[in-house]
Amino acid sequence: MNSINFNACPECDLLISIAHPKIGEKHHCPRCNLLLLRPRKRSIERTFALSIAGFILFFPANFLPLVSITLLGNANTGILMSGVIALLTKNMWPVAIVVFLASILFPLIQISLSLLISGHLYFNRPNRYLVNWMRWMHHLDEWVMLEVYMLSIIVACVKLMAISPLTFGWGLYAFIGLIIITTLLISNLDIPFFWQKIERLTQDINHAD
């Protein structure tokens, strides 16, 4: 048996002959129903474009005010980082680190990695670190929690609105944009196709050696 003609399901280990679904079709594991393949139209181009957009939006989402609250005549403005700093200064550094990683650092790394990977594939540039970037991106996936953070902003705002008036800043709109972009990015990223492309590109380096 030649391994090229087969695939294994990552969650039930069923040996399956490689399917070639058309764009828009989905291929599920016949035994455990896991979604295995879901080819996307122009996956590399779209991932590259969305990564650029996400990378640009990351900065206003992080540095412009999200929400402002006025209480007793004083106003307080929150940005993503100020929540982390507030926890740090109040002896809550383990929580501050978790919030910083899940809502700021990991999203930035994820967008940067997808920008690097799709950029190299778009321009057909081989790079020996492509495989490492792909692996890091794969492991980072569930630790990027922007959409959970968004829900927390909504809940916090509903709680605070009962006490005092709130104003929403441009950072919040950029943050919503960033969540939409990263969601689109993940749905357009065709990981098995990216791996095939990388395999072909790295074979070219090995032949050149």
Residue carrying structure tokens 């939006």: 57
Alpha-carbon distances, residue 150 vs 66, 145, 172, 177 (angstroms) = 11, 9, 9, 11
Token reading at 131: 């495989």
User: Taking CB under 5 A as the rule, does residue 130 contact Zn ion?
Assistant: no
User: Taking CB under 8 A as the rule, does residue 13 contact other proteins?
Assistant: yes
Alpha-carbon gap, residue 80 to 22, rounded angstroms: 41
User: Taking CB under 5 A as the rule, does residue 29 contact Zn ion?
Assistant: yes
Alpha-carbon gap, residue 114 to 44, rounded angstroms: 10
CB within 8 Å of 136: residues ≥ 6 apart: 109, 113
Amino acid sitting at position 108: L
Residue from 50, 53, 83, 111 touching other proteins (CB under 8 A): that is 83
Nearer to other proteins, 7 or 118 (CB): 7
- By three-state DSSP, how is residue 75 classified? strand
User: Taking CB under 8 A as the rule, does residue 8 contact other proteins?
Assistant: yes
Interaction partner, residue 55 (Zn ion, other proteins, none; CB < 5-8 Å by kind):
none
Q: In whole angstroms, how close is the CB of 136 to Zn ion at the nearest point?
A: 13
Interaction partner, residue 67 (other proteins, Zn ion, none; CB < 5-8 Å by kind):
other proteins
| 184, 185, 189, 195 alpha-carbon torsion, rounded to 10° | -170
Count, residues near Zn ion per rule CB under 5 A:
7
User: Taking CB under 8 A as the rule, does residue 11 contact other proteins?
Assistant: yes
Residue from 49, 56, 64, 95 touching other proteins (CB under 8 A): that is 95
Residue from 19, 21, 25, 32 touching other proteins (CB under 8 A): that is 32
Interaction partner, residue 155 (other proteins, Zn ion, none; CB < 5-8 Å by kind):
other proteins
Q: What is the DSSP letter of 72?
A: T
Token reading at 93: 């550094």
Q: In whole angstroms, how close is the CB of 8 to other proteins at the nearest point?
A: 4
Burial (0-12, 13-18, 19+ Cβ within 10 Å), 2: exposed
A 10 A CB-CB count for 134 gives 16
Which residues form the interface with other proteins (CB under 8 A)? 1, 3, 6-15, 30-34, 67, 69, 71-72, 74, 76, 78, 82-87, 90, 92, 94-96, 98-99, 102-103, 131-132, 134-135, 138-139, 142-143, 145, 148-149, 151-153, 155-156, 158-160, 162, 192, 195, 198-199
